[in-house]
Structures are given as structure tokens and as C-alpha cells.
């Protein structure tokens, strides 16, 4: 039988290998070390992976913040940096990019997201006010508390169960918001902070349907929504893939709709925006914009650079356009899923479903012989480094810190090791190395000992705390 041109049978696309939508132009050598060397280095670092030198790390999955590879277009843009103190042309490029892609009218650059959080919390929180969030993030909650505000968890209960397969574990529980208003009153709420792809829950997204419900609730009560938009593009991708009515819709359009339900956002450009430094506040609230402009001058620099060089702003502007390329974001999230699938197939307990920026290993189940007060996630992160030179980080009781009133350890339900994948940096062969190390450790997990904390900073202790193994 003759074949009709154009009607040849095609293999299903989803069964084919999809390569990265870029090619490698510059390489950075990696250094392999011995197990004995790594054992000594983690001891010197107080069993805290944050205190290791990068030169002693083979595959660095500590964070996706500022660790992305920039494109040739971004590097070219950096050579066009206008380093004027005032009115840099690169600021106006950044402003235009934010307006076009995020949809916010006003932009205040900052040196990174933490500065945006600081300015926002200082301006928007009165002492004693609550800030509901879909689960806490460490620095966000710290800035809320420094402004004498109170964090309130309004995420759905499924988010606290690592094995629950709910596709949108970043959703807000409206009943929890109602309860807060009933108990404390509307005036007791400063704003609602929403994080796309909730970090501490395992990179879990919220749905557009839930966001619409939350926005309607916020309008009824006159409470503004401020996004922590750090990983909003990854959330938009999950909406595209998982939520009815969004299949085939460009990620760019989905992101713009997401942001339309908020008054503004704080941004660490070191994630979605594909740069090594930078951030901003974006808003449609002119009064807040004016106040933020005034404060950024005090803490950061003039409002048209905000702690950044012109070249940095140019790189961010170009990164904003690159991040909403559908081929790029699909490749980025699929690499995370690749690592997650390898661990899942080997029986390694991880947070399900796999998130957009990292695979989170469930240290409670991995090291079930260790009680939480012996810091199992911290111990597992240290053991992973010793085994293979792979650097992850703890997201559990150490990151949760202490209750400011009681002084007791906060005990989160989730005790995790985060394996965070930098954007456009590693290949899937690197992911295989990570997976094989986790699998090897799982086979000998009973040999991993708990830790005791021997030095504890007062603020954000997970960055600088030091530990020692518990001797039987």
C-alpha cells in the first residue's frame, strides 16, 4: 500500500529523548577528591555543608540561587552596562522587561531578594500583625519577625506529608485564612505572602484555580497579595502541565495571569531570572512604590540601580525574556524530574511529586533510626558529601530555628535534604552520580550517626551552625 505523504506514522514525542535546548560554549573544570579528604573537610566545616569551600565540592547542589549559567546573550549585555550613578539605561531595560513579562507597573531594583523582603516587611508590617504564607521560608519569616510581625501557615495540610501525591501542594487552605480573620480581625493581617513552587514543601506549586479563590478572598477582606516570585516560572510550567485548560498555553501567558492576582512581588533574580546576583520589588501600588524608592536609597543605592551595577540589571532584563521560553523551562524541570525518578525507582524516600527546582530526600524515612533532635537531615547531607563530594543542604529542624517566645526548637513535620539543581549547569550524567551516591548511602544508612549542635547563631542558624557526631 502506498503511503500518503505527510501521513507517515510518527513515534510518540513523549517516548523520545528531549535534549537540552542549548549547547555548551564555556566549561569550568570540576575537582574530584578522595573520601578521606572529604571526611576531613566536613569535620573542619562542623558538618555543615554551607561551611565547605566550593573548591572542595564535586557536584554542588547546595542551592539554585545565583548558581545558574548565563547565556551568551546575557554576557554580551553585560558589556553594554551603563554604569551611571543615576538614570542608567539598563534600569529602563529592566523596568520594561518586568512590565512586559510580569505585568507590574513600578520596579525598584535591589541587590538580591533578601533586600526586597527587608524593605517590604519594614514598610508593610505593623508590630503584632500577621503575615499568612503558604508555608514559611527561612529568610521571609526572619524578615517578618524582625519587623515584629507573626508568621501564619495557611498551606493545605497535604503539603506537610512528603508521600502525598497531590499535584498542587502549594495551595492555600481558605478555611485557615477564614480562621485567622475570625480570631484576629482583618486589621491584624498585614498582607498575604504567596510563594509559587513552595521551597520548604519540596518545590510544590499552587494551581491557578486556587490562586483565583485566594485572590477573591483577599479582595473581599481588603488584604493585598504579595508574591515571593522567585520561582514563579516553574510554577507556571506545572500549571501548564497539570491543570485543565492550560495545556498548550505558553508559560509566558500563564505567568502573566498568575501575577495579575497580586499587588506586587519581591524577587530574587538569582533563580528564575538566570543571573548570579540581583533582585527587585515590583508593584502596581504607587504609594508603596514611592515608599520603597525612598527606603532603597537608604539601604541599597539610588532607585535606578538599587545596589546593582548597570551590567547586572542588563543581565536580569535579558534573563527575564529567556526564562519564559517554553523549551528552556521544560528542559529545566525535566532534569529535576530525571533525578527524582532515579531515586524513586531505587526506593529512596523523596517528597512527591518532585518539585521544580530540587529533589527533596525525606531524611525522616531515610534515617528512621535517628530522632529529630539528632538532626537527621543535617547528618544525611554531611554523609552524602563524604560519600561522593555532592553538596546538598538541610531543610528541617535546623532551618526551622527556635520559637522566639519559648526558645524551643521548632519541629517541622518535614525533615529534608534538598538537592537543588542549578539552571543550565549540569548534565544528566551528573544527576546519575548524585543518584548512585544516594542509593549507596541508603544501603548503609544504619551506619549514619546523629549530630549534636556545638555552635548556634541567633539568626538563620542553618547557615553557620556547627555540629559534631554523637559518639555512642
Q: Which of 323, 345, 371 lies at the terminal end of a domain, its last residue?
A: 323
Do residues 266 and 246 share a domain?
A: yes
List the helix and strand counts (H, then E) for the chain. Answer: 16, 14
pLDDT band at 14 (very low <50, low <70, confident <90, very high): low
Do residues 137 and 158 share a domain?
A: yes
Do residues 197 and 338 share a domain?
A: no
The separation between CA 17 and the C-alpha centre of its own chain, rounded to angstroms, equals 27
3-state secondary structure of 30: coil
pLDDT at position 430 is 98
Q: Which of 60, 228, 272, 312 is catalytic?
A: 228
Residue 472 counted as domain residue: no
Please tell me the least confidently modeled range out of 8-22, 75-89, 179-193, 429-443.
8-22
Residue 449 counted as domain residue: yes
Percent of the chain whose pLDDT exceeds 90: 93
Residue 288 counted as domain residue: yes
Q: What is the mean pLDDT of residues 440-449?
A: 97
Burial class (CB in 10 A: 0-12, 13-18, 19+), 72: exposed
Do residues 153 and 239 share a domain?
A: yes
Determine the Cα–Cα distance for residues 381 and 92; give it in Å rounded to an integer. Answer: 42
Determine the Cα–Cα distance for residues 456 and 155; give it in Å rounded to an integer. Answer: 29
**pLDDT higher than threshold 90 for residue 18:** no
pLDDT at position 138 is 86
The separation between CA 173 and the C-alpha centre of its own chain, rounded to angstroms, equals 21
Do residues 255 and 346 share a domain?
A: no
Enclosing domain of residue 367? 17-64+326-467
CATH number of 49's domain: 3.90.1150.10
**pLDDT higher than threshold 50 for residue 348:** yes
For the question of residue 395 being annotated catalytic, the response is yes
Given the DSSP bridges, would you call strands 279-283 and 106-110 parallel, antiparallel or unpaired? antiparallel
CATH number of 281's domain: 3.40.640.10
Do residues 105 and 227 share a domain?
A: yes
For the question of residue 283 being annotated catalytic, the response is no
Q: What is the mean pLDDT of residues 129-153?
A: 94
Residue 237 counted as domain residue: yes
Q: Which of 288, 323, 358 lies at the terminal end of a domain, its last residue?
A: 323
For the question of residue 228 being annotated catalytic, the response is yes
Q: Which of 306, 258, 264, 304 is nearest to 283 (CA)?
A: 264
For the question of residue 293 being annotated catalytic, the response is no
Residue 175 counted as domain residue: yes
The three cell numbers of residue 40 are 576531613
Residue 29 counted as domain residue: yes
Residue 9 counted as domain residue: no
Q: Which of 124, 141, 169, 271 is catalytic?
A: 271
Q: Which of 104, 238, 375, 462 is catalytic?
A: 462
Cell numbers 529568610 correspond to 139
pLDDT at position 11 is 43
pLDDT at position 80 is 97
3-state secondary structure of 387: helix
The tally of domains found in the chain comes to 2
Given the DSSP bridges, would you call strands 130-133 and 416-420 parallel, antiparallel or unpaired? unpaired
Neighbours of 197 (CB within 10 A): 28
Q: For 96-125, how does the pLDDT look when each residue is reduced to its tens digit (9 = 90+)? A: 999 999 999 999 999 999 999 999 999 999
Do residues 387 and 293 share a domain?
A: no
Element of type H or E holding 362: strand 358-362
Q: Which of 58, 91, 136, 137 is catalytic?
A: 137
Beta carbons of 375 and 455 less than 8 angstroms apart: no
Q: Which of 92, 138, 161, 344 is catalytic?
A: 138
The three cell numbers of residue 205 are 506549586
Sign of the CA dihedral with 255 first, then 256, 262, and 268 last: positive
Residue 3 counted as domain residue: no
Do residues 410 and 440 share a domain?
A: yes
Do residues 330 and 311 share a domain?
A: no
The three cell numbers of residue 467 are 555540629
Do residues 304 and 442 share a domain?
A: no
Q: Which of 299, 323, 347 lies at the terminal end of a domain, its last residue?
A: 323
Do residues 115 and 242 share a domain?
A: yes
For the question of residue 271 being annotated catalytic, the response is yes
Bond preceding residue 353 cis, omega within 30 of 0: yes
pTM over cut 0.85: yes
Quote the mean pLDDT of the chain. Answer: 95
Burial class (CB in 10 A: 0-12, 13-18, 19+), 471: exposed
Q: Which of 85, 179, 403, 411 is catalytic?
A: 85
For the question of residue 238 being annotated catalytic, the response is no
pLDDT at position 15 is 62
Do residues 166 and 275 share a domain?
A: yes
Amino acid at each position: 500500500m502506498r503511503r500518503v505523504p505527510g501521513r507517515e506514522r510518527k513515534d510518540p514525542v513523549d517516548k523520545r529523548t528531549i535534549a537540552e535546548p542549548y549547547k555548551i560554549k564555556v566549561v569550568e573544570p570540576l575537582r574530584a577528591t578522595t573520601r578521606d579528604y572529604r571526611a576531613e573537610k566536613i569535620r573542619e566545616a562542623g558538618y555543615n555543608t554551607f561551611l565547605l569551600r566550593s573548591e572542595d565540592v564535586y557536584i554542588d547542589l547546595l542551592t539554585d540561587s545565583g548558581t545558574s549559567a548565563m547565556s551568551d546573550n546575557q554576557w554580551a549585555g553585560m558589556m553594554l552596562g551603563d554604569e551611571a550613578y543615576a538614570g542608567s539605561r539598563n534600569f529602563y531595560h529592566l523596568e520594561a522587561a518586568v512590565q512586559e513579562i510580569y505585568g507590574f507597573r513600578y520596579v525598584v531594583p535591589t541587590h538580591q531578594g533578601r533586600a526586597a523582603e527587608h524593605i517590604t516587611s519594614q514598610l508593610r508590617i505593623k508590630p503584632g500583625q500577621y503575615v499568612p504564607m503558604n508555608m514559611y521560608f527561612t529568610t521571609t519569616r526572619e524578615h517578618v519577625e524582625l519587623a515584629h510581625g507573626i508568621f501564619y501557615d495557611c498551606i493545605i495540610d497535604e503539603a506537610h506529608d512528603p508521600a502525598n501525591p497531590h499535584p498542587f501542594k502549594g495551595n492555600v487552605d481558605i478555611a485557615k485564612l477564614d480562621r485567622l480573620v475570625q480570631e484576629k480581625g482583618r486589621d491584624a493581617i498585614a498582607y498575604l505572602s504567596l510563594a509559587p513552587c513552595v521551597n520548604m514543601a519540596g518545590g510544590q506549586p499552587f494551581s491557578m484555580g486556587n490562586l483565583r479563590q485566594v485572590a477573591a478572598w483577599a479582595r473581599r477582606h481588603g488584604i493585598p497579595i504579595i508574591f515571593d516570585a522567585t520561582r514563579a516560572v516553574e510554577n507556571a510550567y506545572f500549571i501548564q502541565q497539570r491543570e485543565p485548560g492550560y495545556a498548550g498555553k505558553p508559560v509566558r501567558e500563564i505567568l502573566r495571569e498568575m501575577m495579575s492576582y497580586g499587588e506586587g512581588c519581591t524577587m530574587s533574580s538569582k533563580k528564575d531570572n538566570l543571573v548570579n546576583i540581583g533582585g527587585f520589588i515590583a508593584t502596581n501600588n504607587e504609594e508603596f512604590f514611592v515608599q520603597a524608592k525612598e527606603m532603597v536609597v537608604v539601604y541599597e543605592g539610588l532607585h535606578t540601580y538599587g545596589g546593582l551595577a548597570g551590567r547586572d540589571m542588563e543581565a536580569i532584563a535579558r534573563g527575564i525574556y529567556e526564562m519564559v521560553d517554553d523549551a528552556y523551562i521544560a528542559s529545566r524541570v525535566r532534569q529535576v524530574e530525571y533525578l527524582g525518578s532515579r531515586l524513586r525507582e531505587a526506593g529512596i524516600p523523596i517528597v512527591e511529586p518532585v518539585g521544580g527546582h530540587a529533589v527533596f530526600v525525606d531524611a525522616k524515612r531515610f534515617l528512621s533510626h535517628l530522632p529529630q533532635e539528632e538532626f537527621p537531615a543535617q547528618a544525611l547531607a554531611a554523609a552524602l558529601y563524604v560519600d561522593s563530594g555532592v553538596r546538598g543542604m538541610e531543610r528541617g529542624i535546623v532551618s526551622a530555628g527556635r520559637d522566639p517566645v519559648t526558645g524551643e526548637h521548632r519541629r517541622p513535620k518535614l525533615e529534608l535534604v534538598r538537592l537543588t539543581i542549578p539552571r543550565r549547569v549540569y548534565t544528566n550524567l551528573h544527576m546519575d552520580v548524585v543518584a548512585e551516591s544516594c542509593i549507596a548511602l541508603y544501603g548503609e544508612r544504619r551506619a549514619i550517626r546523629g549530630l549534636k549542635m556545638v555552635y548556634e547563631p541567633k539568626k538563620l542558624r542553618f547557615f553557620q551552625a556547627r555540629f559534631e557526631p554523637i559518639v555512642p
